[in-house]
Amino acid sequence: MNKHILKSIVISLVGLLLFSTCEEPEEEETQVIFVKTFGGSDCDKGYSVQQTEDGGYIITGYTESFGNGLTDVLLIKTDSNGNEEWNQTFGGSSYDYGKSVQQTTDGGYIITSLTTSFGNGAYDVWLIKTDANGNEEWNQTFGGSESDRGFSVQQTTDGGYIITGHTNSFMIGLTYVWLIKTDSQGNEEWNQTFGGGVYDWGFSVQQTTDGGYIITGWTESFGNGLTDVLLIKTDSNGNEEWNQTCGGSSSDKGYSIQQTTDDGYIVTGYTESFGNGLTDVWLIKTDSEGNEEWNQTFGGSSGEMGFSVQQTTDGGYIITGRTNPFESCYDVWLIKTDSQGNEEWNQTFGGSITDNGYSVQQTTDGGYIITGSTDSFWNGGSDVLLIKTDSEGNTVPYGD
């Protein structure tokens, strides 16, 4: 064989071998974006959202359009594109509201809510456990003869649940922060109250890395103003280890708290004492003992509030709430900050009436999922709103 032909064959074979063993470059994951609404002819709202293990989303809130009573707890499961897979309602003949939902380790869901249909008093804390399809497995109520409400629930490392809210039943006429720990079937193991004899509310709870719990809410009993942001840290049995207040001479409230990767805490809510307007979104970072490291306010001349915060994978923070840019209606507001709370970008979503963002979570593709309510695009009084953005807060044109 001609040596030049032989050399060409060898080069071709080597090239083919190298080409066949090279890995193709991985394609970047596409970030899904959408805006979805859910509801009927009356008022329907979403208060809490979480991405589920299958990449979809679980939402809780309440509905006036469906169910048994004046309002019912609403549970909606969607796929990764926000398309409804199923929904369930829970309630009696009166008022029932879903406030917080989390997927449980068995693939089901835990919801905390307020009920006037069941229990002992005006309002009772209502804990509902479902299977993976939203079918009720059990429920429990907690409360006395007065008003008792649950706003936040989380599954604990022992398979039980931790709830925070407030109670009027133990000291009639006064309101105390209430912390309830249950076993895996919702049976109460212990409860603790915290307060100073006026009005004190718990609004968000998380189990901490040491097995204790961190709560935020607000207090009229302590602090500097009409209400102050309240932080309470407990041990694993709910015994208070420390508390801190943050605020000025006016009204300041905390709505959401999360432990950060440095063992400190991040809180969002609103402030009337500081900032530019009637109320501003307030972001507070503390150390592990609740001592403030820094705070940031976001807002204009009108009224803004932050309802939900989460630390992001880059060490910054994502906040959702509402802004009042035109002093005539609210828009959903999404704010991304760096690790020091400096704004990197913000996005608003809304129509011509009122739209609120109540819960936000970073998704596995680096984007963000928000739930809330819309009066701008609806079938009735208002609809549950579900917004999926990319990593920069961009989504499809609102209302499309």
So where are the chain's domains? Answer: 34-389
* C-alpha span between 334 and 348 (Å, rounded): 6
Residues 6+ apart with CB under 8 A from 310: 258, 317, 318, 360, 361, 362
Q: Which two tokens stand for residue 62?
A: 């309440």
For residues 318 and 369, give the distance between their C-alpha atoms in angstroms, rounded to a whole number: 11
CB atoms closer than 10 angstroms to residue 11:
10
Structural contact between residues 93 and 73, judged by C-beta atoms closer than 8 angstroms? no
- Domain 34-389: state its class: mainly beta
Report the C-alpha gap between 236 and 219 in whole angstroms: 23
Return all residues near 113 (Cβ < 8 A) that are at least 6 apart: 60, 73, 90, 96, 97, 98, 99, 125, 126, 127, 128, 150
Cα–Cα distance for residue pair 148/255, rounded to 1 Å: 18
Check residue 51 and report its DSSP letter.
E
pLDDT of residue 17: 35
In order along its 400 residues, the chain shows pLDDT tens digits of 444 433 443 334 334 333 333 444 444 568 999 999 999 999 999 999 999 999 999 999 999 999 998 999 999 999 999 999 999 999 999 999 999 999 999 999 999 999 999 999 799 999 999 999 999 999 999 999 999 999 999 999 999 999 999 999 987 678 999 999 999 999 999 999 999 988 999 999 999 999 999 999 999 999 998 999 999 999 999 999 999 999 999 999 999 999 999 999 999 999 999 999 899 999 999 999 999 999 999 999 889 999 999 999 999 999 999 998 766 689 999 999 999 999 999 999 988 889 999 999 999 999 999 999 999 886 778 999 999 999 999 998 755 5
**Confidence (pTM):** 0.91
Show the tokens assigned to 374: 């819309």
pLDDT for position 20 = 38
Query: Helix, strand or coil for residue 248?
Result: coil
> pLDDT value at position 15?
41
Alpha-carbon separation of residue 15 from 2, 6, 11, 22, 197 (angstroms): 20, 14, 6, 11, 81
Is residue 187 packed enough to be buried (19+ CB in 10 Å), middle (13-18) or exposed (0-12)? exposed
